[in-house]
Amino acid sequence: MSLQGTQQIKAIFFDYDGVLTTDKTGSISTCRYISERTGIRLPEVVAAFRVHNRDLTIGRRSHADVWPAICVALGREISMDLLVDAFDSTPTNVDMNVLARQLKKSHLVGIITDNKRDRIERLRATRRLDQVFQPIVVSADVGCTKEDQRIFHIALEQAGVDARESIFIDNSRINLVAAASVGMHTIYFDDAANDVQALRRCLGERYGVVVRADA
């Protein structure tokens, strides 16, 4: 198999939810936890959050801004402490995080994610994401999502690499379109299969990225 970009790859960017976590989206993690803790049916919780999702994801509003409306939609007062606990319930994809740490030995490793600012701030602190991932580019911080080329240009600028020197890994093919259009190499990761070993092979066979095992 011919290698694409051998000797060129300097940075590998991961999506967060569905790649570094085992839930397809952060909304699933958050809503499921709140449903389980309150006894409110999951579809009702999802619907209460969904109407605010766009504003939260591009940083127009915070969860503190919309929490009163969410409580009204759910028909009860709920402490925002439960929301923080919901953030903390996010399930880590252990094997993928091991891969990221191993890649960090030889490459810049970053995150590009469509996400809420307060959620990622919490997870950056509790999961110590900054110890492995730099930069961490969040849609709510930059005002645009992965449908927009701008978020990828921002990530590349912060990383100090050219597009062809980078790879972006995401569990949504739609999210790979803008990344590819700016010249980044892209890899689709099937979160349902969660085959991290296949991803390792892809990085090596397609791009010549050697993964150094932990000492």
Kindly report, residue by residue over 11-68, the tens digit of the pLDDT: 999 999 999 999 999 999 999 999 999 999 999 999 999 999 999 999 999 999 999 9
Q: What is the DSSP string of 19-84?
A: TTBSSS-HHHHHHHHHHHHH---HHHHHHHHHTTHHHHHTTSS-HHHHHHHHHHHHTS---HHHHH
Indicate the number of domains in the chain: 2
Percent of all residues in the chain with a pLDDT value above 90, rounded to a whole number: 93
Q: What is the pTM of this model?
A: 0.94
pLDDT (0 to 100) of residue 104: 96
Q: CB atoms < 10 A from the CB of 201, how many?
A: 12
Collapsed DSSP state (helix, strand, coil) of residue 165: helix
Residue 96 above 70 pLDDT? Answer: yes
Same domain, 107 and 34: no
Average pLDDT over residues 143-164: 98
- Where among 88, 112, 142 does a domain terminate? 88
Same domain, 107 and 183: yes
d(CA 45, CA 38): 10
Same domain, 64 and 102: no
Residue 1, in any domain of the structure: no
pLDDT (0 to 100) of residue 5: 44
pLDDT (0 to 100) of residue 212: 76
Give me the CATH number covering residue 108: 3.40.50.1000
Average pLDDT over residues 137-166: 98
CA angle 191, 171, 4 (to 5 degrees): 115
Same domain, 194 and 109: yes
d(CA 62, CA 90): 19
pLDDT (0 to 100) of residue 95: 97
pLDDT confidence tier of residue 1, bands split at 50, 70 and 90: very low
Whole-number mean pLDDT of the chain? Answer: 95
Average pLDDT over residues 109-129: 98
Print the domain residue range for 31. 26-88
Same domain, 38 and 116: no
Same domain, 130 and 31: no
CA angle 119, 114, 79 (to 5 degrees): 25
pLDDT confidence tier of residue 211, bands split at 50, 70 and 90: confident
Same domain, 128 and 145: yes
Percent of all residues in the chain with a pLDDT value above 70, rounded to a whole number: 96
Backbone angles phi, psi at 55, to 5 degrees: -60, -40
Same domain, 71 and 97: no
**How do strand 11-14 and strand 185-188 relate by DSSP bridges?**
unpaired
Same domain, 69 and 161: no
Collapsed DSSP state (helix, strand, coil) of residue 114: coil
Average pLDDT over residues 167-172: 98
Average pLDDT over residues 102-117: 97
To which residue do tokens 């000797």 refer?
A: 7
Same domain, 126 and 38: no
Same domain, 174 and 101: yes
Rg (CA), the chain: 18
Residue 6 above 50 pLDDT? Answer: no
Question: Which tops the pLDDT comparison, 213 or 104?
Answer: 104
